[in-house]
Amino acid sequence: MSKSFKMQVLVRLKPGVLDVQGKAVESSLRAEGRSVVTNIRIGKLIELEVRADSEAAAREEISALCNKLLVNSIIEDFEIRAA
């Protein structure tokens, strides 16, 4: 009997890949005088529900979805976790 699993995917830019969004936030903070915050990298959090027989099967399904669409492995890494 399959169950519904609430899961999350964290998508991060790989180290070294230019993150202009992070840089923009950092420079705005610096302009405001908050120079103690550095190395900002902005990723994304994807929440989803998967119907599967087990959490392992749900993770496998999400992993396939990440490789197919949600993540570009040239520039991004991902991490799956239970919500």
Partner 1 sequence: MPKVSVVLFPGSNCDHDVVHAFRSLRIGAPQGEVSVDLVWHASSELKDPDLVVLPGGFSFGDYVRTGALAKLSPIARAVHAFAAAGGHVLGICNGFQILCELGLLPGVLLRNQGRTFLSRQVHLRVEPSPSFFSSPETEGRVVSCPIAHGEGNYFADEQTLAELEDHKQVVFRYCRQDGSVHPEDPESNPNGSKHAIAGICNREGNVVGLMPHPERALEALVGGASGDRCRELLETYAKAVFHARALSDKSARISA
Chain contacts with partner 1 (rule: CB under 8 A): 17-18, 20-21, 23-24, 69-70, 72, 74-75
Q: Which is nearer to partner 1, 35 or 72 (CB)?
A: 72
Q: Which is nearer to partner 1, 21 or 54 (CB)?
A: 21
CB of 70 to partner 1, least distance (A): 7
Q: Which is nearer to partner 1, 57 or 65 (CB)?
A: 65
3-state secondary structure the chain: CCEEEEEEEEEEECCCCCCHHHHHHHHHHHHCCCCCCCCCCCCEEEEEEEEECCHHHHHHHHHHHHHHHHCCCCCEEEEEEEC
CB of 71 to partner 1, least distance (A): 9
